[in-house]
Structure 1
Amino acid sequence: MLTADGTLPADIKAEILALAQEELHPQGASVAALQVVQSRFRWISTQHVKEVAQLLDMSPDALDGVATYFNLLFRKPVGKHVILLCDSVSCWVMGRDRLCAHLCKKLGIQPGETTADGAITLLPTVCLGHCDHAPALLADENLHGNLNTDTLDHLVDSLREKP
């Protein structure tokens, strides 16, 4: 299995260079390049930031600024599945804190942590734009709204069943 500590494989470097060639300035491919890395490793290590920055002719600090700006780019290891629980005012009014406490108890972790088996990471996130269905969360790439403890239990159980 590949680890995020090593150097980028040749196929990823080639894909990043191809993305850079499609842009007027190579830096224009920074978000897409970071997404390529994350899709392989689930997060973006400092080593990979340095390598991608070199490929895109940018400083590692500038690329790290891009990576840390976007909340869907992970600069620390995350679990196999990531639950992003919305912490907007709408979700808060509709019971987000109660649901967060329920999730923490069910998973045995606090926000910002990953379950001991590495299956699920729970992270708070800014508004998901699903306010008319608050409270809401994003599990991997799937948006869920109108949440209650039963739907959360079902969601967590289904994530644990996925390979």
Structure 2
Amino acid sequence: MADWSTRLSFLGITLPPVAAPVAAYVPAVRSGSLVYTSGQLPFVDGALAGTGKVGDAVSPEQAKELARACALNALAAVHALVGIDSVVRVVKVVGFVASAEGFTGQPGVVNGASELLGEVFEEAGQHARSAVGVAELPMNAPVEVELVVEVLAPAAVLV
């Protein structure tokens, strides 16, 4: 098992409490050796840390920091379900960016999430990714991030 919790501590990163779902879903689900998180918004201390469209009310730099917060919330959901130390690697990141007309910098915004995952998981944090511009996100959030991570197989139960 990896010691990602020690790495988080070394980096000075504390996982937040799991964000409460805003509709009828759960924060994360495990299927076999994969954990899928629901889309996570940039909640910080229980409140949305920013609102509006990127390229208008929200700068790309601000949105990049908000994407980092989304990724932290996704890691919190993974940790609550299986424990952060059971993560083998990050498989996929999907980032949604509420984009003002003409804004095409979605990849740079979603780098906020990708760079955090690289800091935490190093080589195991390298992942496939999509960065998608959308017209609107829930609660007028500027960004939303979801993860797919591979985790250790559950220990076999001897009968």
Query: Normalising by structure 1, what TM-score?
Result: 0.30
Structure with larger Rg: 1
The structure with the largest strand share of the pair is 2
The structure with the largest helix share of the pair is 1
Larger relative contact order (CA 8 Å, sep ≥ 6): 2
